[in-house]
Amino acid sequence: MVKIDRVVTRGGDGGETSLGDGTRVAKDAVRVEAFGTVDEANAAIGLLRLHLDGDAAADAMLMRISNDLFDVGSDLCVPGAAGARLRLTEAPCLRLEQEVADMNDSIAPLTSFILPGGTPGAAYAHLARVAVRRAERRVVALSHTEEVNPNVVRFLNRLSDHLFVLGRRLNQNGALDVLWVPGANR
């Protein structure tokens, strides 16, 4: 059980923070940047959930994803053997793949790249997608210098695909997609 009895600790006033194993690191450390950006992506998911127009199935998927992103953050926050019990497994990646396949079954194939927009839900799905892509880049950067659970990178990669397809689904299964017209404004 997690118990947080103090929010203001003053421990970070000098520009350092604690990892989940107690190690003190600079707040701009690559690992902190990685799990902080995952947290930003999770906040974007929360915003997306407010714009689903009563779509209970999408909301349930996003609630699971939000919890999974917190697990990703925990995985990244506790490096080494101390965090073994927190490691993300393959199961969330497989679930995302299945959800993408299920959503994609009822959406017409793309004939062009699409621009973010259409319905508010679709626009917020794209905002969440790019936040996840940024988190993925930060985690990959971390993996160049420190050990990272490969399931974390895979999950973030699958999640960005999931959010892209969900955006199309929220655009009336692609009917309201905003298509890119190359050179339209030259």
**What three-state secondary structure class fits 16?**
strand
Q: What is the reported pLDDT for 3? A: 67
Pairing of strands 178-179, 24-26: unpaired
The structure tokens 């690992």 sit at 31
DSSP state for residue 109 in the 8-state scheme: P
Separation CA 170–CA 165 (nearest Å)? 9
The structure tokens 């490096």 sit at 79
Q: What is the reported pLDDT for 12? A: 72
Q: Which of 55, 60, 70 has the alpha carbon at shortest distance from 95? A: 60
The whole-model pTM stands at: 0.91
Separation CA 67–CA 167 (nearest Å)? 20
User: Cβ–Cβ contacts within 10 Å for residue 83, how many?
Assistant: 17
Task: Show me where the domains of the chain are located.
Answer: 16-175
Q: What is the pLDDT along the chain (186 residues), one digit of tens a residue?
A: 666 677 677 767 778 888 788 889 888 899 999 999 999 999 999 999 999 999 999 999 999 999 999 999 999 999 877 677 889 999 999 999 999 999 999 998 998 999 999 999 999 999 999 999 999 999 999 999 999 999 999 999 999 999 999 999 999 999 999 999 999 888
Region for 151 from its dihedrals, namely left if φ exceeds 0, alpha if ψ lies in -120 to 50, beta otherwise: alpha
Can you say how many angstroms the Cα of residue 70 is from the centroid of all Cα atoms in its chain? 9
Alpha-carbon torsion, ordered 172, 175, 180, 186, to 10 deg: -120
DSSP state for residue 28 in the 8-state scheme: T
Please give the CATH topology (third level) of the domain spanning 16-175: Hypothetical Protein Ta1238; Chain: A; (1.20.1200)
